[in-house]
Amino acid sequence: MTRITLPRPDDWHLHLRDGAMLTGVLPETTRHFARAIVMPNLVPPVVTGAEAAAYRDRILTALPAGAAFEPLMTLYLTETTDPADVAAAAASGLVKAVKLYPAGATTNSHSGVRDFDKVRGVLEKMAEIGLPLCVHGEVVDPAIDIFDREAVFIETVLDPIRRATPGLRVVMEHITTKDGVDYARSQDDTLAATITTHHLILNRNHILVGGIKPHYYCLPVAKREHHRLALRAAATSGETRFFLGTDSAPHVDPLKECACGCAGCFTATNTMQLLAHVFEEEGRLANLSAFASENGPRFYRLPVNTATLTLEKTTTAAHWPAKIETGAGPVTVFDPGFPVFWHAID
Residues annotated as catalytic (active site), given as ranges: 247
Question: Distance of CA 75 to CAs 114, 246, 258, Å?
Answer: 17, 19, 31
Distance between CA atoms of 52 and 37, rounded to whole angstroms?
12
Rounded to 10 deg, the angle between the 83-91 and 49-62 helix axes is 40
Q: Residue 83 class from Cβ within 10 Å (0-12 exposed, 13-18 middle, 19+ buried)? A: middle
Determine the number of helices (DSSP H) and then strands (DSSP E) in the chain. Answer: 13, 13
Distance between CA atoms of 273 and 285, rounded to whole angstroms?
12
DSSP bridge pairs for 192: 171
Distance between CA atoms of 111 and 124, rounded to whole angstroms?
21
List the strands of the sheet with 35-38, edge to edge: 10-14, 35-38, 70-76, 95-100, 133-136, 170-173, 191-195, 242-244
What residues have CB less than 8 Å from 91, skipping those under 6 apart?
129
Is cis: bond before 220, omega within 30 of 0?
yes
Is cis: bond before 214, omega within 30 of 0?
no
